[in-house]
Amino acid sequence: MKITDVKTYVVGNPPPHFGGRYWIFIKLTTDSGIDGIGEVYSVPFHPKAVTHMIDDVCERCVVGSDPFKIERLWRTIYSSGYTQRSDLSKMGILSAIETACWDIIGKELNKPIYELLGGQVHEKLRSYSYLFPKETDKTDVYSDPELAANRAAEYVKLGFTAVKFDPVGTFTDLDPRQLSLGVLEHAEKFVKTVREAVGNKCDLLIGTHGQMTTSSAIRLARRLEKFDPLWFEEPVPPENVIEMARVSRMTSIPIATGERLSTKYEFASLLHEQAASILQLVLGRCGGILEAKKIAGMAEAHYAQIAPHLYCGPIEGAANIQIDTCSPNFLIQEGIENWVGFHAEILKKPIRWEDGYIIPPTEPGLGVELNEEVAEKNPYTGKELHLDMMD
């Protein structure tokens, strides 16, 4: 079997853009007619440039390759240009290609990918969502503690057993920063109000985005410990593992991180320095499905858990589900609410979600199929990137 064709879809995610402004999908087709889909996560260039980058990598390394030879293809792309470094742009493209190859392999063997990576461990997967705004909101759910508490209670009624929110506010291109007393007090009130609304029925996930210096993160953690959050996410930027480890040592709240990291090498540093006990790998960035399995295995040896990050489209979501299902140390999976709206429309058959849990598919490969007609009818025409920092 050989890969003979590559097609890229840049899909505009309609308002309110939950999951990003656009999604980039790669379809690989083989000489036997089997195709596989992968998703590129948040490469920091405009999709027009990313499409050219995908074409370049696939022309040099992918077309003519055997999709079953995952390790060899991975090393070829990873080493291209005498780099062998976890550049996020290249890793996003490599991750999508690798995922598409696994989709092909699963379809060829008529097995879900998780059955090829050790087999099913979990019959259902615990999930969580950010607290998202509604069109009818009169205030901002990200800054109004009472509205956030009401929204969290609504999510609990749907079946969620965990919700995530950022009580600190905007992330900027000048982070990390020292939070003011006013911001610290607001964050404490925010978490307190949400905790009182959900009681012990729901875990609270503090979804910060590296806004704080080490000392500021420690100050915030001390205020929030009494509300027993399940995790404190990216308390400092991901570039300095030593400082994240210092935060970890100074709080009882488990540290979660990983959405801006890639490859087993960067995650190994987290584990070695005891900087985090919950790894939020992104399968459209970390290196793909097999790399994610390696990261999960390393985490398991350190009694750390995986909670794959997801703020993108449902193809990466489907890849996450495959890894979650076969990983003993799976904790919880992020989703965009309950996988409805455009996240369902872009698939021929939506991801199955019931009472707070994802039900793993039994179909071969990723277990989902991209609705290419919907993808082609919703091209991205904007100039902005998937996500942006504030000035």
Classify residue 159 by its DSSP letter. Answer: T
Give catalytic status of residue 309 as yes or no: yes
Q: Which residue has the tokens 């609990």?
A: 156
- Which residue among the candidates 122, 309, 343, 386 is catalytic per the annotation? 309
Residues 6+ away with beta carbon under 8 Å from 242: 273, 275
Out of 122, 209, 343, 386, pick the active-site residue: 209
**Token pair belonging to 347:** 């698939």
DSSP 166: -
- Among residues 213, 208, 220, the alpha carbon closest in space to that of 181 is found at 220
**What are the b/e assignments for 333-359, b being 16+ CB within 10 Å?**
bbbbbbbebbbeebbeebbebeebbbe
CB 293 within 8 A of CB 327: yes
The tokens for 187 are 């964050």
Q: Using only C-alpha atoms, what is the Rg of the chain?
A: 20
The closest of 278, 276, 322 to 117, measured between CA atoms, is 322
Q: In this structure, are residues 95 and 285 in contact, taking their beta carbons and an 8 Å threshold?
A: yes
Based on the residue annotation, tell me whether 122 is a catalytic residue of this protein: no
Structure-token match 């109004």, residue found: 144
> How many Å apart are CA 327 and CA 305, to the nearest integer?
9
Size (the chain), residues: 391
Please give the Cα distance from 161 to 159 (Å, whole number): 6
Token pair belonging to 140: 């901002």
**Would you say 390 and 193 are in contact if contact means Cβ atoms under 8 Å apart?**
no
Give the containing element (helix H, strand E) for 182: helix 181-198
Q: Which residues are catalytic?
A: 209, 309
